[in-house]
Structure 1
Amino acid sequence: MSLYKNFGLTSIRTMVVEDFYKSITGFAPYKYQLKVADLLLSGKNVILTVPTGAGKTWASVLPFLYAQQAGKTDFPQKMIYSLPLRTLANSIYSDVTKVLNEKKIIGKSSIHTGEYKNDEHFETDIIFSTIDQTLSNFLCFPLSLSKRQANVNAGALVGSYLVFDEFHLLDPKLSMATTIGMLKTLKNLCRFCIMTATLSEEYINKLKEAVNAEVVSINDFPEDVAIIKSLKIPEGHNTKKSVIVKDETTNAQTILKQHKKKTIIICNRVEKAQKLYSDIVSLDLTGFENLSGLEKSNIICLHSRFFDEDRKQKEEELKRLFGSKNEKSAILISTQVIEAGMDISCDTIHVEISPINSFLQRAGRCARWEGEYGEIFVYDILEIEEREMLEIETDDEEEERQKKAINNKYLPYDPSLCKLTFEKLKAVSTLNKDISQKLVDEILTNQELSDFTLIRQGDFNRSKIQQSWETCEKNMYSQTIRDIQSIEVAIIDVTKEARGAFIPYKYQTIGLYKWSFIKWAKEILIENEDVIFKAESNKDSQFIDFDTLDNEGFALKPINDPYLLKNCYDTIFVDKSIFKYASGAGLELGAGTSCSPLKPYEIKEKETIEYRKDTFSQHNKAIINCYEQEFKPKLKFAFQQLDTYWGESIDWDKLIKAMICLHDYGKLNSAWQKPMRELQILKGNYEHGEVLAHSDFNELTDKEIEKQSGAKNKPPHAGAGAYAFIESAEAIIDSDDYEDLANSVSTAILKHHGVETETYADFEITQIHYKEIERLLGEIDVKATFPQKARGGNLKDYAPRNCQEWVIYFLLVRILRLCDQKATMNFEKYLKL
């Protein structure tokens, strides 16, 4: 018998999931949350649309946790939870992992936000990440890794459960389109949940068709609406939230007069937030009777222009003051950095007008909890003063667009949407879910459908996705994820810096809107020279190359033409005489005394390359055992789905083991074995007849014998295995389309040390050495004959050609590279298995 006939849950499953939910959160789940669990656990994907504060985070996380505890092999064993903002990722990671640690419910979790990367290869069970990190890894230009490792992490998304929170905050033409393109590419090889509170119903329907998902809407669960704390009308009131539209701009006096216990002010621009903060803390608060008990230390300013330590401290403080039933009086002045995902609440909120989706997110920080009543004051934006406008005489289309943007008083938002939202809100006196959805549909539908038409016409960036895979270049970031319009700024004392040996990445930085910085620079440089600098090196990239991060050779070069900054993406260094910083208000224009704090950064001494001897057979068996232990158990879902994805039945396990056995086929080359054998003999640890995979070697002590043996000039080996697989693929792959799959496997072998390998060297393998590969493949029942001699050549024509081939390659090369690395570092451990 079904307890919830309206959405088809069986009583057994409902009770099991419901009990599990209670055991984790301490609360009974809402029916919509059970619906989400039922769909996901039965093989569907979900688009979840519920208001802010309605429990959507746990609605998406609990099905994964339940599947893990129940041992469900038809559900992914890894969850990657992506958010559009670093602040949100930090907050939700902290909230969820706190509960998981208390309940001891699952293994390791990690966070990837750029500042944190304690699991650089996405190996933990639960990963919280910014959308930038998630997409850049899938697109093969991982922001936190070098190009050499560009293909390692894309395969982490294959076979994973992907959650996209606050989906409406993604850039429609960039990160949103790319995310949709990624999901269409992965198809059944992932399970996903997209969550949003403020997309129009028509857009949701378009998205549903595009990604083949089921929509779960709060509108279908009236029984939940009656009990969800963030929606429930408190006693003594006829509404949860009142809306008061003011035909004026924000000011400190008006805000303070309305203060009760908890007040939040959200401004569109950092400069306005800083001014309000300064005005409020400088006032004599004793003149306001309603402010008795308000300590100035409980007046907090939070925006994007703080250094890490101050920002983290402020986030903790506002959670303490606004994130619980704390009775202390408090005021928060902020920007959109807190408008989504932050579990905080107030009784009075003052907001500058923004588009309706942004407005509703801001309103979600008011009267968020049970029994609370809130008032929302909405203000117009002050006209930009002439001195704040950016004047650029240009014929460049991009520069003209940015000029209009910065001179838009509603920056960073679309003026027409702000004006329409302001007018529509004038007709509203209360706010609930129905009014909110009606406003969204009236204001956003046309714009969202127009955006969707454009991104669909661009096939959801899928050609750019493949271009990213092919090039692995980080300059694809601005075409697929985010339009880079910011400059990272560090404050330095120029008089104390050694310009010939400058280390740029040791300083903490603050991101500034590029064109605002250009406007300031134009004013600054009228009276000052040599106060704005770039760290110049021999690299030509807008991104850090993590392979050469610690190389010296940087020098400070002054920038005295403000328009040279328009093409800058590196960190800009400014003298402390032009920028001031305080922990209260953050970074501002004006002479100061503070410099940027240093990162927890040390110049790493170059790691010593060191290997221990293992034979060809030992090395490959260790890799296979590593795969069996570390990867295969977590790939049960992927293996179940692969045949459907590829279109026919393949013995994927055998194929992976054959790839492993052939990945070092080039090491059987006589020109490779001979110098390695000579080196090992010189080391005094060689047994006659051994076919080596690695020799005992320490680059600090063995350089001379490396030179003497000829090992320093041994030929590259990766390409030979790729060539051998291509030549014998028909015998290994039981499929009429073996050539297509061979592209994926051979490319994984070819690029198992780096993405730029495209060729194979001459090789000749003796019969004695060839018997090693025969024995290995015989143990996994693979019967094939491989070329023992070939002239070197290029393998470009055997690269993956379509999405299916690329995705299979990502899965295979991830397994090969990580298992190769682990088995090389600790082959004894894996040989014992």
Structure 2
Amino acid sequence: MQDFFAELFGAKAASSPIEPYPYQKKVAELLMQSRNLVLTAPTGAGKTWAALSPFLYARKQKRDFADRVIYCLPLRTLASSLYESTKDAIKGQQVTSTLQMGNQPNDPLFQGDVIFTTIDQLLSAYIGLPFGTSKAAANIPAGALIGAYVVIDEFHLLSYTEALPTFLDMMKRLHPYTRFLLMTATSPEPVVSALVKHLDGMSVKLQTEELEKLSTRTRSLYWRDKRMSGQDIANRHQGGRTLVIVNEVKRAQSLYFELTSILENEGRAIEVRVLHSRMFPTHREDVESWVLKAFSRDSEKEAILIATQVVEAGLDISATLLLTDLCPANALLQRVGRCARFAGQEGTVEVYSLRKGGVEHFLPYVSRQGKKEENDDYQVMLRTERALKELESGTILTHELEKQLIETVHGEIDRKRIELVMHDLFLREDQISRALIRGDADMGELVRAIDNVSMIIHHSPDEVDLHRKPEMVSMGRRGLYFFLSGLEWTKEEWENNRLIFVPRFPDAQDISARVTWEPIQSPKEVLAHMTVLLSPKLAKYHAVVGLQLQKASLNCAEADERVSEFLESGEKASIQRFSYQRETYLEHVQDVRARNREQSGKYLQATNFLSRRFRMTPEQIEEIADLATALHDVGKLGVEVQRKMRRWQTEYKQKEELELLAHTDFDGTNPEERDAYRTGNYRPPHHAVEGAVALQEWCGKTFDRKIAVPILLAIMRHHNAYSKESEAIVFCKGAREHVRKSLQGLPYEPFLKPQSIRHRLDELVSWLRNNDVLALYWYLSRRLRLADRASQQVKNEKNNGKEETDVMLS
């Protein structure tokens, strides 16, 4: 694999050989043997390339491995940074990498070869509430998990109450169909052992000689029994690159102003930046780009960065001096990993107390609520503080000392936590099964307790159009509530001031209708909204330190500060709407089948996994995918569907029509056509569930239930991932012959059974509790829906360049 590493990093093996670490080779070998792994390696040990190299190498060698990599990180900053630092090397291997995050939704359906994303994005797709696309399209990104290689970096940051149990359920449910690699630098042994057992996998750790190679870097650790101040930063910074990490945004902002004032008074010209979550995305990206350059491996720049936990893990940066607030030991070692990160470097780490006047300030790790002495997080902070105080000043951090610190602080507590998670895992399995069946997943329970609100800063709500994507700043919902409560306004003042607004979305089906803004009448109203608009009189945005809430005088002039800018012009922000050209039923089915076959290479490993699980050949699985595609629109052969489509063509479009159709001529950009189409005269009834009901008897007689059910589910949900109710349907003359012709090349002769009553397919949907049914359903749905979309997108690009989702006219 040495030559491959040399090529990967742009080096010539003959002149500058790059030898992978033994553990990296072992990871590749075990993954190639279809083993799931838990990798424990120190920060800066090359875990990223240990994870990516097996996939890239298998692609180059045309070996079976995975259809795609879904590389998940706990924070957006880390996902973005890793994407930027690896994309050139990945592109050199003729592989496509993409970035999928809430603020950069570039690949919502997970169609790249290597997808960098957050754990929130992955788990939300798994439970059926994908962040990046509509709920109706939920079965498309979920299908990407089948045949995938899922990497979870820094898994120790997964919440024991929300994300970790959901991820454990995913591993168990998808074990036969998906490869998993979990990586950590700071998880205690009891947790690693429990995960290895749950995965039925193996643990990989670095050997002594590998650790010794990494030990050529030196970090000295000091405990400071005081709160960090701006003066401390100014005194301790003596050139090079100083990284300051504090636990709260407000503290980072105040330290910046204090420090810059001191430096100015001392006549020291040093570039100081701030990085945290309460910044406009464009500003945050600029700062992140600056950080990656200023704190790079070979940088000689003098700089100071004051940051929060957003730089805690994954960023490939190196400081000469790290000044940090006290934090849990596992988080501390992640912060330490940003100091003297590379071999041969030397650095100093100073940890500052959070006590003032004998009172500890452990936010956000320990809330103000409840008895803190009984709180595990409080005990973790106390244990970390105690362990650091016991170390000799200037202690050299070794891998053994880091391991000892983790086990001392987290070992017992995390052992109890993981045991409780494993004990109650059957409850999470039931929660997720019900969510997949009903479509009522609770993001707060299953992924992350979302307590953030997106804030728009603007002086005029009437000018704010959400379609134009105004810049937003994220902030804790409770923090905003407490700030507004602190204004102490009377009821009359709330009615008259009109400085805080929430959106009111229109009831109309036309999504182009404007959102209106209404002033709130009390602080409690912000607790029920995801988006809030604040006047610049209350929310000042500073170009360097980001959002600052202020109790400004209401009589002052409008604040001369930056407000939210719009990311898209009015023209770009207009809704793109799907337009159709007339297409016969047979033309459409044949084209979608062709698109599906063209994309079969993207599902090779998923097909192989399914064939082994169902004891079929890959060719038979392909045949089932082709069959589902060929039959997906049989509901359109109903009398009422064809009558409405023909009426549209002949009456509205004034065109003679004699064929059975799949689509009519339709200009989605024309408001008059949209309005006319919505009337009862022209809009066809639904067809997806109706088609599945008509095929149910034939499918049940032809296939085993574990195959019949996924076929029917894929057909009934090829427009909406949660459809399950059908109307009565009678088929038109010639329907049987059209079905026969549409199945050309397939050895099946299905019959359609008319339905005189409505059906609710709860029993069919309940089969999603079966893991094999779920996997095959996701696989068939993804293939069918992406082929259907591809067919329409190609036609729209040829005709008028318009694009929209496949549910627009469903």
TMscore range, shorter length: 0.7 to 0.9
SS in 2 for 1:696: coil
Deviations 1:95-149 (A, max 9, x none): 0113334xx2123321111111122222121111111111111211112322222
1:241 maps onto 2:219 in alignment: yes
Match of 2:706 among 723, 734, 740: 740
The equivalences for 1:197-346 within 5 A come to: 197-218=185-206, 221-228=207-214, 231-233=215-217, 240-260=218-238, 261-284=240-263, 287=266, 295-296=269-270, 298-346=271-319
Contact 2:280 2:473 in 1 (8 A): yes
Structure 1 partner of 2:804: none
Offset of residue 629 of structure 1: 0.6
**Structure 2 residue corresponding to 1:56, chosen from 47, 58, 76:** 47
1:488 aligned to which of 432, 454, 464? 454
CA 1:271/1:450 → structure 2, altered by over 3 Å: closer, same or farther?
A: same
Q: Deviations over 1:136-170 (max 9, x none)?
A: 11211112322222222110111111111111111
**In the aligned structure 2, how far is the partner of 1:43 from the partner of 1:502?**
50
Q: Deviations over 1:220-258 (max 9, x none)?
A: x22222323xx314xxxxxx1111112111122233222
Q: Quote the sequence identity (%).
A: 27
For the aligned residues, what is the CA RMSD?
3.3
Kindly provide the amino acid, as one letter, of the partner of residue 273 in structure 1.
Answer: A
On the 8 A contact 1:244/1:377 being kept in 2, the answer is yes
Q: What is aligned with 1:822?
A: 790
Q: What is the deviation of 1:489?
A: 2.5
Retained in 2: the 8 A contact 1:679–1:705? no
Q: Is the 8 A contact 2:69 2:115 kept in 1?
A: yes
Distance in 2 separating the partners of 1:337 and 1:384? 29
Cα separation, 2, equivalents of 1:180 and 1:599: 40
- Equivalent residue number for residue 534 of structure 1: 501
Give me the whole-angstrom Cα distance separating, in 2, the residues matched to 1:568 and 1:713: 36
Alpha-carbon distance between aligned partners in 1 of 2:143 and 2:649, rounded to the nearest angstrom: 36
Partner of 2:808: none
What is residue 5 of structure 1 aligned with on the other side? none
* Offset of residue 463 of structure 1: 2.0
The 5 A counterparts of 1:170-189 are 170-189=158-177
Which residue matches 2:776? 808
Aligned pairs for 1:688-727 (under 5 A) are 688=658, 690-698=659-667, 700=670, 703=673, 712-727=682-697
Please give the per-residue CA displacement for 1:424-460, whole angstroms capped at 9, x wherever unaligned.
1223322111110111111111221222122212217
Which of 456, 462, 476 is the equivalent residue of 1:498? 462
Q: Cα–Cα, structure 1 residues 376 and 646, in superposed 2: closer, same or farther, change >3 Å?
A: same
Alignment-derived partner of residue 664 in structure 1: 633
What SS does the corresponding residue of 1:227 show, helix, strand or coil?
helix
Change in 2 beyond 3 A, CA 1:812/1:270: same
Q: In the aligned structure 1, how far is the partner of 2:411 from the partner of 2:615?
A: 38
Tell which deviates more after alignment, 820-829 or 330-339.
820-829
Q: Cα 1:423–1:617, aligned 2, differ >3 Å: closer, same or farther?
A: same
- TM-score of the superposition, structure 2-length normalised? 0.88
Letter in 2 for 1:315: E
Please say which of residues 337-346 and 256-265 is displaced more in the overlay. Answer: 256-265
Q: Would you say the 8 A contact 2:73–2:153 is kept in 1?
A: yes
Letter in 2 for 1:672: V
- Give the structure 2 partner of residue 9 of structure 1: none
Structure 1 equivalent of residue 537 of structure 2: 577
Q: C-alpha offsets along residues 253-287 of structure 1, whole Å, 9 cap, x if unaligned?
A: 23322223221111111222222211110014675
Return closer, same or farther for 1:446/1:425 CA change in 2, 3 Å cut-off: same
Unaligned runs of 5+ in 1: 1-13, 234-239, 391-400
For the Cα contact (< 8 Å) 2:278–2:475, is it kept in 1? yes
C-alpha displacement of 1:22:
5.5
Does structure 1 conserve the Cα–Cα contact (< 8 Å) formed by 2:455 and 2:475?
Answer: yes
272-281 or 755-764: bigger deviation? 755-764
Alignment of 1:636-651 (within 5 A): 636-646=604-614, 651=620
Matched, 1:75 2:65: yes
Are the counterparts in 1 of residues 695 and 751 from structure 2 also a CA contact under 8 Å?
Answer: no
Aligned mate of 1:404, from 369, 378, 384: 369
SS in 2 for 1:223: helix
Q: Which moved more, 1:262-271 or 1:647-656?
A: 647-656
Distance 1:820 1:434, change over 3 A: same
Range 90-99 or range 145-154, more displaced: 145-154
Which among 332, 335, 341 is matched to residue 368 of structure 1? 341
User: What is the match of residue 45 of structure 1?
Assistant: 36
Summarize the Cα distance change of 1:609–1:484 in structure 2 as closer, same or farther, 3 Å threshold: closer
Helix, strand or coil: the match of 2:222?
Answer: strand
Query: Is the contact made by 1:504 and 1:554 (CA closer than 8 Å) also made in structure 2?
Result: no
1:761 aligns with 2:746: no
SS, match of residue 198 in structure 1 = coil
Q: Which residue of 1 aligns with 2:157?
A: 169
CA distance in 1, matches of 2:378, 2:674: 69
> Displacement of 1:356 after TM fit?
0.5
Where does residue 394 of structure 1 map in the other structure?
none
Deviates more, 1:456-465 or 1:369-378: 456-465
After TM superposition, give the deviation of residue 756 of structure 1 in Å.
4.0
Contact 1:21/1:27 (CA < 8 Å) preserved in 2?
no
- For residues 512 and 157 of structure 2, the distance between their equivalents in structure 1, rounded to whole angstroms, comes to 35
Q: Does 1:414 align with 2:414?
A: no
Distance 1:804 1:33, change over 3 A: same
| Counterpart AA for 1:282 | S
Aligned residue for 1:426, secondary structure, equals helix
Letter matched to residue 27 of structure 1: I
- 1:393 corresponds to: none
Q: Which runs of 5+ in 2 are unaligned?
A: 553-558, 799-810
The answer to whether the 8 Å contact 1:770/1:788 transfers is no
TM-score of the two chains, using structure 1 as the length reference: 0.86
- Mapped to 2, the partners of 1:497 and 1:263 lie a distance apart of 41
Q: Residue 554 of structure 1: which of 516, 519, 523 is its match? A: 516
Which string of whole-angstrom CA distances, capped at 9 and with x for unpartnered residues, describes residues 671-714 of structure 1?
A: 222343344455566575x3222222335398499779986143
Letter in 2 for 1:818: L
- What residue in structure 1 maps to residue 481 of structure 2? 518
Residue 433 of structure 2 corresponds to which residue in structure 1? 466
User: In the TM superposition, what whole-angstrom CA distance separates every residue of 1:153-212 from its partner, at most 9, and x where no partner exists?
Assistant: 110111111111111111122112211211111112111211110000121011100112
Q: Deviations over 1:745-789 (max 9, x none)?
A: 212111111134222222222452211112333521113333256
